[in-house]
Chains A and B, each alone.
Chain A
Amino acid sequence: MTGEPVVSIRDASLSFGARTLWSGLNLDVGRGEFLAVLGPNGAGKSTLFAVLLGRQRLSSGTAHVAVHGIGYIPQQGVVDFPRTLRGVDLVSLGLDGHRWGLGLRGAVERKRRVAEAIEAVGAGPFARRPLHRLSGGEQQRLRVAQALVGEPELLLCDEPLLSLDHNNQRAVSELIERRRREEGTAVLFVTHEINPVLSYVDKMLYLVDGRFSIGSPDEVMTSATLSTLYRSDVDVVRIGGQIHVTGAHSSVCEDDPHHPQVQA
């Protein structure tokens, strides 16, 4: 890590009424660092992003983001796209949608950069079709292009691999990884599946029920650490460079779909 951290969280806690999502959280993410955020549903992973985006106040402590350019890939399916919007329009907005004026000057340059970003995620064949008709995976790739085209210094990715098939999972995580490697973008990556990004991850934040563990995958993804977090026996098995987690607690399973309600 060089220089001032891009994200720095100090003694942070977040509670809703009597329920504490997490407390005493200290976390630094530096330039070019890849932080994976894991944990069962309702552990406060997305809420952490809401804090960093300034949409959610902490109950106590501080959270500081030291850069201006944030690329945010929201969870898929949260937004209902309007009928009059295509992939190219979504990506254009990511490039200069925050600028005033009609942007007639520089239209050629904009077109080129948008086309490049679309090409990079392999979205060319469907980028001019209505966005609301595309599959979840297609929309997701355009979301990645939208976030990357703005050349962000910090990328917040909320389950970007959800609803992608294996090849696309790899393609999308490689794109994000390349951005980090080549431009030093800090990456915060919420995911249920650690394996597609395991080789990129510098640091992990594993959140369970108000408890958390921060460290390298080797430190966090162990039977001892996860058993402590889940307060039940969890086995972590490494097979062929992949990590598999088995345990009594159903939500340990990494392949969980995201939206089911909190288990009884």
Chain B
Amino acid sequence: MTEFFNLELTLRLLGLDFVQTGLLAAAVLGLVSGVLGPLIIMRRMAFAVHGTAELAFTGAAAALLLGVSVEYGSLIGAVIAALLLALLGGESRERDSVIGAVLSFGLGVGVLLLWLHEGRAANKFGLLVGQVISVDSANLRVFAVSGAVVLGVLAVIYRPLLFASVDPVVAASRGVPVRFVTPMFALLLGIATALGVQTVGVLLVIAMLVTPAAAACRVTSSPLLATVLSIVFAEVAVLGGIVLSLAPGAPISAFVTTIAFTIYVLCRVIEYRRSLATRSTVATTAEAEPAPR
């Protein structure tokens, strides 16, 4: 535990190539998560993100068993899961139960596949809690390309997607192809989730895709500012988490989630203080008015 905040060791590790590669991959994840986050919250898809991440695990487990790359396995698993959840979970009222049914089955299959595969235990653990430092330069290229694809597609569909997320009926009346943008968003979400699974792990993808945006939504009502803040929060959480995890050599997840959660709590405190301020302004204004008789 004395090694927990060893500055010298941390700096030495930061000079290493594979650490820098990991940080770059994490920065890509932070950017993509930060941009998608506010839309996820707006569409109430936090639980869908969790479900998608768990099914990315199933995909990865299948890849292990088949002897193909875990990265592609988790990507395919996440994309299929995201599309499936988008297709099945039509009515928002039933969406939670659909996700619950699908993800528990998927997770069960994943556990079976891992049991069938008698490979290295390290890989199993890595999938659940993340192993960003294992990202090599070839993976980094995949990360960068995936990130660019997500951001590029999002730039094209952003406005119709936002419209459809706020109010699908009015959007459709204005000619927004709601049935096209919804699965497109699911696809982007699947890709982002797969990136998250490889860095922070299945269990903590929400800490990247949901928590920073949830924090941002507490302190601003502007969609643009919420996106900017959500990117900043996500980057601080993931890069800060990795740097802090270097010296103790601990899994990054604990650090990433702690930072993300701290930011979330701070934002809620700011929101609360603001609401108090507004209330006292209203009270003062009311006092200034002549009292009704």
Assess whether A84 is in contact with B159, with CB atoms less than 8 Å apart: no
Answer yes or no: B172 CB below 8 A from chain A CBs. Answer: yes
Answer yes or no: B6 CB below 8 A from chain A CBs. Answer: no
Min distance, Cβ A134 to any Cβ of chain B, angstroms: 11
Answer yes or no: B109 CB below 8 A from chain A CBs. Answer: no
Assess whether A86 is in contact with B222, with CB atoms less than 8 Å apart: yes
Stretch at the interface among A24-32, A89-97, A244-252: A89-97
Stretch at the interface among A75-83, A203-211, A218-226: A75-83
Stretch at the interface among B22-30, B113-121, B150-158: B150-158
Answer yes or no: B160 CB below 8 A from chain A CBs. Answer: yes
Residues of A within 8 A of B162 (CB): 93, 97
Answer yes or no: A68 CB below 8 A from chain B CBs. Answer: yes
Answer yes or no: A101 CB below 8 A from chain B CBs. Answer: yes
Residues of A within 8 A of B155 (CB): 101-102
Answer yes or no: A40 CB below 8 A from chain B CBs. Answer: no
Assess whether A55 is in contact with B159, with CB atoms less than 8 Å apart: no
**Binary B-proximity of A122-153 (CB < 8 A = 1, otherwise 0):** 00000001110000000000000010001000
Quick one: given A93-B162, A99-B159, A100-B159, are A130 and B173 in contact (CB under 8 Å)? no
Residues of B within 8 A of A90 (CB): 166
Please measure, in the bound complex, the distance between the C-alpha atom of A69 and the C-alpha atom of B174, giving whole angstroms.
Answer: 7
Answer yes or no: B221 CB below 8 A from chain A CBs. Answer: yes
Assess whether B173 is in contact with A84, with CB atoms less than 8 Å apart: no
Quick one: given A74-B167, A82-B166, are A103 and B159 in contact (CB under 8 Å)? yes
Quick one: given A84-B220, A129-B221, are A93 and B163 in contact (CB under 8 Å)? yes
**Binary A-proximity of B127-166 (CB < 8 A = 1, otherwise 0):** 0000000000000000000000000000111111011011
Answer yes or no: A201 CB below 8 A from chain B CBs. Answer: no
Please measure, in the bound complex, the distance between the C-alpha atom of A99 and the C-alpha atom of B220, giving whole angstroms.
Answer: 25
Quick one: given A70-B174, A84-B220, A156-B173, are A98 and B160 in contact (CB under 8 Å)? yes
Secondary structure call for the B interface: helix
Assess whether B217 is in contact with A93, with CB atoms less than 8 Å apart: no
Assess whether B159 is in contact with A96, with CB atoms less than 8 Å apart: yes
Please measure, in the bound complex, the distance between the C-alpha atom of A102 and the C-alpha atom of B217, giving whole angstroms.
Answer: 21
Answer yes or no: B170 CB below 8 A from chain A CBs. Answer: yes
Residues of B within 8 A of A146 (CB): 170
Q: Which residue from chain B places its CB closest to the CB of A71 in the assembled complex?
A: B173
Assess whether B156 is in contact with A100, with CB atoms less than 8 Å apart: yes
Assess whether B175 is in contact with A98, with CB atoms less than 8 Å apart: yes
Q: Which of A54, A79, A84, A93 contacts B222 (CB 8 A)?
A: A84
Residues of B within 8 A of A96 (CB): 159
Q: Which residue from chain B places its CB closest to the CB of A96 in the assembled complex?
A: B159
Residues of B within 8 A of A83 (CB): 41, 217-218, 221
Assess whether B169 is in contact with A84, with CB atoms less than 8 Å apart: no
| Residue total for A at the interface (Cβ-Cβ under 8 A) | 35
Q: Which of B163, B169, B173 has the most CB of A within 10 A?
A: B173
8 Å CB interface, B214-236 against A: 216-218, 220-223, 226
Assess whether B157 is in contact with A84, with CB atoms less than 8 Å apart: no
Please measure, in the bound complex, the distance between the C-alpha atom of A241 and the C-alpha atom of B176, giving whole angstroms.
Answer: 42
Assess whether B221 is in contact with A97, with CB atoms less than 8 Å apart: no
Q: Which residue from chain A places its CB closest to the CB of B223 in the assembled complex?
A: A84
Q: Which residue from chain B places its CB closest to the CB of A143 in the assembled complex?
A: B170
Q: Which residue from chain B places its CB closest to the CB of A81 in the assembled complex?
A: B166
Min distance, Cβ B285 to any Cβ of chain A, angstroms: 14
Residues of A within 8 A of B226 (CB): 84
Residues of A within 8 A of B222 (CB): 84, 86, 89
Answer yes or no: B42 CB below 8 A from chain A CBs. Answer: yes
8 Å CB interface, B179-210 against A: none
Assess whether A98 is in contact with B171, with CB atoms less than 8 Å apart: yes
Quick one: given A72-B173, A84-B42, A84-B217, are A97 and B223 in contact (CB under 8 Å)? no
Answer yes or no: B38 CB below 8 A from chain A CBs. Answer: yes
Q: Which residue from chain B places its CB closest to the CB of A129 in the assembled complex?
A: B221
Assess whether B159 is in contact with A97, with CB atoms less than 8 Å apart: yes
Assess whether B157 is in contact with A72, with CB atoms less than 8 Å apart: no
Min distance, Cβ A22 to any Cβ of chain B, angstroms: 21
Please measure, in the bound complex, the distance between the C-alpha atom of A198 and the C-alpha atom of B167, giving whole angstroms.
Answer: 30
Assess whether A89 is in contact with B171, with CB atoms less than 8 Å apart: no
8 Å CB interface, A29-55 against B: 53-55
Given contacts A90-B166, A98-B163, 15 further A-B contacts (CB under 8 A): A53-B169, A69-B174, A70-B173, A82-B165, A84-B220, A86-B221, A89-B223, A93-B171, A94-B170, A96-B159, A97-B162, A97-B176, A101-B155, A101-B159, A146-B170
Taking Cβ atoms with an 8 Å cutoff, the residues of A that contact B are 53-55, 68-72, 74, 78-79, 81-86, 89-90, 93-94, 96-103, 129-131, 146, 150, 156
Interface pairs (28), CB distance under 8 Å: A71-B173, A72-B169, A72-B173, A74-B167, A74-B169, A78-B169, A82-B42, A83-B217, A83-B218, A84-B38, A84-B223, A85-B223, A89-B222, A89-B223, A90-B166, A93-B171, A94-B174, A97-B163, A97-B174, A98-B160, A98-B171, A99-B159, A99-B160, A101-B159, A102-B155, A102-B158, A103-B159, A146-B170
Give 5 closest A-B pairs by Cβ, nearest first. A97-B163, A130-B221, A72-B173, A82-B42, A84-B226
